[in-house]
Amino acid sequence: MLNRLRYARISTKITCFYAAVLLLVLILTSVLTGLGVYFSFYHQAEVELEISMNHVLDRMEQGRSYLGPDFWRDDPVLPGVVLRITDLTGQIVYENDTHYPSIGTIEANAMKNPPFWANRSMQVSEFRNMTIYHARMEVEYGGQLYQLHFFKTITAEKNFLDTLQKILFLMTILGFVLALLAGYFLSRRILRPIREMTATARKIEVEKMDRRIKVPPARDELSELADTFNHMLDRLETGFKQQRFVSDASHELRTPVTVILGYSDLLSRWGRSDKEVLDEGISSIRSEAEDMQQLIEKLLFLARADQKRQVLHKERLELSELVEDVMRKMKLVTRTHSIELLQNDEGVIFADQVTIRQMMRIFLENSTKYTPEGGRITASSRRQPDGKFILLELADNGIGIAKEDQQKVFERFYRVDASRTKSAGGVSGTGLGLSIASWIAEQHGIEISMESDLGKGTKIILKIPLIQDEENVQGALEGSSGDERIGDRSDRPARA
């Protein structure tokens, strides 16, 4: 039993321990209560007997005859005490209660082992419905010896004590059952955060390490454990992301390097004599090198961002001018799609101009990639009624993004189903652009939301905070000290 309990669940141990402690307390309380009540009643009977005996002796010492009327005029014994006087032959010469059991009957029912709380100089006789205290003493009067028998009956008290014993026993059993139930529910409630931690830990996988344990509001050992566990998960997630980042980057770089090596080998064999092979090889190598350069620039940007070394030069900017300029340049470089700027409300923001432009270009270039030729790409900015934010919406009518992929597209190197990508015109990408855009938005306090369905296009909604007044501008400038330096000033942001 002890071995089973040793390896039992913590909730079981707490329940058993709680029930055992409460049971012990209840037993001790019941025993002490019962002993106290018994001692109180027996002691009271002893005191009344002793007082009665002393009164009788006092009157005898005063020379009063126990047969005379003077002796019994004021009743020398207390109410409830029975007095019987016998001579040497056992003949009763006086008694104040003729209906009381005989002396022989009382002595026949005397207890051989009276309870320890009873007076050892007195006799205890046990009957079915009562207990009798019996005290005797011998006196000499008129040259003769007499025995004085004093009796005190405990009748109602005995019934009460028996009932009290039953009640205490039942209360102990009931208390033990309640202790088991209370211990069970209490242990479950106390250990609920631990069970939640266990359930969360079971759900955490290497691919899904974004879950965290809910920290209890009370600042106790469980909250410290949850904080420590969450901190450990943060470090593990960072480590896995870095490991996966290196692995994905290596995979992305391997393809262009393989292509370049292949064409280099082709040129070394036939490029000197065949002009077409030479032109094709040089063109392909240049194209792959440019793609690799863009990939490396994006990797460097994210690496600097992870190391908090990316530089942001924040200043006061008019958002409508930025949006108009970005859309105008998109029209110049995009001939296969319709580029339209709809509503363009004014609003002053505090941001880094280069990275804000880069963020908008990333979303717009994604729209051109995943929108078939002839598709429509629009931008509109609407100032909110409270004047605190402006909503910049970048929309297209392209292939759209499935609901289950909408949050994943901001992960590094994540790309949606290749078949849908090819259907949009055979475009490809590194899967880093939206990660960069998400980081830029986070650094500027911009909230990104997405509305998209397969075949119905995609709408990116940017909730951009506005500067309210000059005081806020000054506070923002002081808080940023002009530049938000997270890297080397000479580093330039990567292209989208």
Final residue of a domain: which of 277, 305, 333?
305
Domain shared by 121 and 263, yes or no: no
Do 61 and 113 fall within a single domain? yes
Query: Is the four-CA dihedral 190, 191, 195, 200 of positive or negative sign?
Result: positive
- Same domain for 117 and 264? no
Looking at the 3D structure of the chain, how many domains does it have?
A: 3
Structural domain harbouring 278:
221-305
pLDDT confidence bin for 154, thresholds 50/70/90: confident
Q: What is the mean pLDDT of residues 339-363?
A: 90
pLDDT of residue 462: 94
Whether 391 and 262 map to the same domain: the answer is: no
| Dist CA 141 CA 145 (whole Å) | 6
State the pLDDT at residue 18. 72
Domain membership flag for residue 199: no
492, part of any domain:
no
Mean pLDDT, all residues of the chain: 76
CA–CA dist 145, 303 (Å, integer): 118
pTM for the complete prediction? 0.46
CA geometry: angle at 80 spanning 163 and 38, to 5°? 35
3-class secondary-structure state, position 389:
strand
- Residue 272 confidence class, pLDDT cut points 50, 70, 90: low
What is the pLDDT at residue 197? 74
User: In sequence order, which ranges of 191-272 are alpha helices (DSSP H)?
Assistant: 192-203, 221-266
Q: What confidence category does residue 416 fall into, taking pLDDT thresholds of 50, 70 and 90?
A: low
pLDDT of residue 73: 63
230 pLDDT band, cuts 50/70/90, is confident
Residue 209's pLDDT is what?
A: 64
Query: For residues 308 and 358, what is the distance between their CA atoms, to the nearest angstrom?
Result: 18
Asked whether residue 24 falls in the same domain as residue 170, the answer is yes
Is there a single domain that holds both residue 372 and residue 439?
Answer: yes
Reported as a single tens digit per residue, the pLDDT across 5-46 is: 565 666 677 777 777 787 788 888 878 877 777 777 788 888
pLDDT value for 389: 92
pLDDT recorded at residue 2: 54
Q: Indicate whether 36 and 174 sit together in one domain.
A: yes
Same domain membership, residue 313 and residue 297: no
pLDDT tens-place string over residues 155-202: 655 666 677 778 888 888 887 788 778 777 777 777 777 777 777 777
Sheet holding 144-154, edge to edge: 92-95, 81-86, 144-154, 131-141, 123-126
Same-domain status, 315 and 248: no
